[in-house]
Amino acid sequence: MKRNTIILIAIVAALALWSVAVYNGLINREEAVKQAWSQVENDYQRRADLIPNLVATVKGYAAHESSTLQNVIDARAKATQVQVDPTNLTSESILAYQQAQGEIGAALSRLLMIQENYPDLKANQNFLELQAQLEGTENRITVARKRFNEAAQQYNVSLRRFPQNLVAKMFGFQPQAYFETEAGNETAPTVSF
């Protein structure tokens, strides 16, 4: 009887220790997702911070392009208002964030195309530096999004693996959403000469 009690206590203790280890592992992966999301937001914020300087530089050379400049300013304002709670990263919230950031990207593309009509703007050192910083920031955004998706994938796999999924369900861990390609990007553009 005494031996059976000791064996039962040992089994319960082992299960408890294992559950704690799994729980802590899931917490670590969940925090990695939040940290990766924070880096995505930081890189998008860096891009948003470059926009006023870029607009001011272009404004000096292309004052009559006011509608393009205003579109960039409006897209930036809209995108900075979209906030995503890192503790509730749903597909819908990430999509809304991605759409707002996509509007900035489209407006910036139109703004950068203006330079073709203004040779003095093309030669402006400040504009060239801002353009290079913007290109670097776009690369940072791509890397941050990739790292976020990797962290979310590792976390989601942990939630689905047996027997960790039992602990995950017991404590209410939920899968994380991913950044996905924007609608229309799956089709390559047609080029004809």
CB 31 within 8 A of CB 89: no
Q: Find the farthest-apart pair of alpha carbons in the chain and give their distance in angstroms, rounded.
A: 93
Provide the 3-class DSSP secondary structure of residue 175: coil
pLDDT of 184 strictly over 60: no
| Structure tokens, 18 | 């294992």
Euclidean distance between CA atoms 173 and 167, whole angstroms: 9
Q: What is the pLDDT of residues 123-181, one digit of tens each?
A: 778 888 888 898 899 999 999 999 999 999 999 999 999 999 999 999 999 999 888 87
Q: Does 116 have pLDDT greater than 50?
A: yes
Contact in structure between 44 and 79 (CB atoms under 8 Å): yes
Q: What is the pLDDT of residue 4?
A: 87
What pTM does this model have? 0.78
Confidence at 2, pLDDT banded by 50, 70, 90:
confident
CATH number of 2-171: 1.20.1440.20
